[in-house]
Amino acid sequence: MATTFRGTFDYTLDAKNRLTVPAKWRSSLSDGVVLAKGTAACVSVWTPERFDAYTQTAVADLHEIDPRRDKLERYFQANSHDVDLDSAGRIMIPPFLMKHAGLSKDVVVTGVRSRMEIWDRETWNAYNATLDITELTAPFAHATVAPPTA
């Protein structure tokens, strides 16, 4: 059964840009990890199987000769990196992903159901402050349900 990643954890990267993965998630990542550019200013952390399913879904409706498919494949594959947890449960974040996410020493690890995300702590705090449940659910608040017909 696949792990659901949830929660928010404050961490500090070491001098070699290694992150200690939250202990509760290490067993789920024991078969390897894919680090990738997130769709926001973060690093996404996937199991290889979930990353492959995510990227396949993104291109599923595009024909193999569609240039958009090639661009998406390049984005996903060229901007991802396979790593393994070391014996201390750490992963090293490559420089290009550090730059993409603007990571400093102080980071936040968040769970986002099928993946983890690594955010610079200040960036996360600013982004998280913008998440307003009322705004996010506004389309649903205005939905109407038709009365049942007799």
Of 3.90.25.10, 1.10.287.370, 3.40.50.10800, 3.40.1550.20, the CATH number of 8-141 is: 3.40.1550.20
Largest CA distance in the chain: 70
Query: How far is the C-alpha of 60 from the C-alpha of 43, rounded, in Å?
Result: 23
Reported as a single tens digit per residue, the pLDDT across 61-88 is 999 999 999 999 999 999 999 999 999 9
- C-alpha distances out from residue 34 to 49, 66, 85, Å: 9, 26, 11
Reported as a single tens digit per residue, the pLDDT across 17-52 is 999 999 999 999 999 999 999 999 999 999 999 999
Q: Other C-beta atoms within 10 Å of 114: how many?
A: 16
The answer, yes or no, to whether residue 145 has pLDDT greater than 60, is no
Structural domain boundaries in the chain: 8-141
Q: Find the DSSP H helices in the chain.
A: 23-26, 48-59, 67-78, 95-101, 121-130, 133-136, 138-141
> Are 131 and 22 contacting, i.e. CB atoms less than 8 angstroms apart?
no
Reported as a single tens digit per residue, the pLDDT across 5-16 is 999 999 999 999
Phi and psi of 57, rounded to 5°?
-60, -40
